[in-house]
Amino acid sequence: MTLHAPILDWYAEHNRDLPWRRPEATPWGILVSEIMLQQTPVVRVLPIWEEWLTRWPTPDALAKEPPGEAVRHWGRLGYPRRALNLHACAKAITADFDGTVPATYDELRALPGIGDYTAAAVASFAYGGRHAVLDTNVRRVLARAVRGEEFPPTATTAPERKLAESLIPPVDAPRWAVAVMELGALICTARAPRCADCPVSGRCQWLLTGKPAHDGPPRRGQTYAGTDRQCRGALLAVLRDAPGPVPKGALDAAWSNTAQRERALDGLLTDGLAELLDNDFYALPT
C-alpha cells in the first residue's frame, strides 16, 4: 500500500504553521512542546509554550528556578505533574549534557518523565532521527488505513510498532511522522473523521470495508466536572495565583466537599505539587 506520497503531498498543502515546527525551533522548544501537547489541544498549548520559551529559552534557565515556578507558569494546561517532569528534565540536561538536549533516543528516554513517544518525537523532530513516532493520532490513522480498524488498541502493541517501523521512509522520516500525525489531528479524527477530505480515502481499509464499528472495549470520554481532578485543579489554582504561602482556610474555601478536598490536597502533597509549611500554610514546591 502506497501511503507516503498522498499523505506527504497533503501535508505540504495543509499543515499548520506551529512555532515548534519552524526551522528556528530549538531542541529544547521541541521537547517543551511535546510534553505540553500530551493530552492537551494545540490551541491551549500555544500561549503557554510561547510564555515558557520567552521566560526559559534554555534548560539551564528553567533549572535555576524552583520547581514551583514551573507549576505556576504551567497555568491551566492540566496534568501539572508534566511541569515537574519538565523541570526535572531541565536539571538533568543541565547537569549531565552541558545544557544541550540529548540527540539519541536512549539518552532522551533516560530523562525524568520521558516515555517512548516523547523520546522518539524529539529525536526525530529536533535531530532528524528515524523512529516510529506513535502518538494517538498516528496510531488511529494506521489502524484505519492499514488494518481496517476504527480505533487502535488501548495500549501500543508490538504489531503496531512493527507496522509503523515498516512504513518509515528511507529519507525524510521526521516529515513523514509529523504528516501522519497532522492527518490524524485534522482529518482522521476520533469522533468525526472527514473521510471525503482524506488523501488516502481510496486506499483506507476501514473506509473500503464499510467503516466497521469498533469491536473492543467501549471507549468512554473522560469526565471532569466534580471529579478529584477538578478539585486538585481548584486547589492548585489558589496556590498558583498567590504571591506566597496560603493558609489552609484559603484552600478550604476553594472546594466545598471536605472529604474530596482533603483527598485532593493529600494527592498534591504526595505528587510534589504542593508543600506543607509551618503554621498550616501551603505553597508550591520549592
Active-site residues, by number, are 34
C-alpha distances in Å from residue 127, one per residue of 9, 28, 121, 132, 154: 23, 11, 9, 14, 29
Three-state secondary structure string covering the chain: CCCHHHHHHHHHHHCCCCHHHCCCCCHHHHHHHHHHCCCCCHHHHHHHHHHHHHHCCCHHHHHCCCHHHHHHHHCCCCCCHHHHHHHHHHHHHHHHCCCCCCCCHHHHHCCCCCCHHHHHHHHHHCCCCCCCCCCHHHHHHHHHHCCCCCCCCCCCCHHHHHHHHHCCCCCCHHHHHHHHHHHHHHCCCCCCCCHHHCCCCCCCHHHHCCCCCCCCCCCCCCCCCCCHHHHHHHHHHHHHHCCCCEEHHHHHCCCCCHHHHHHHHHHHHHCCCCEECHHHEEECCC
Cell of 21: 515546527
Cell of 170: 528511507
> What CA–CA distance (Å, rounded) separates 67 from 65?
6
Indicate the burial class of 272 (C-beta count within 10 angstroms; 0-12, 13-18, 19 or more): middle
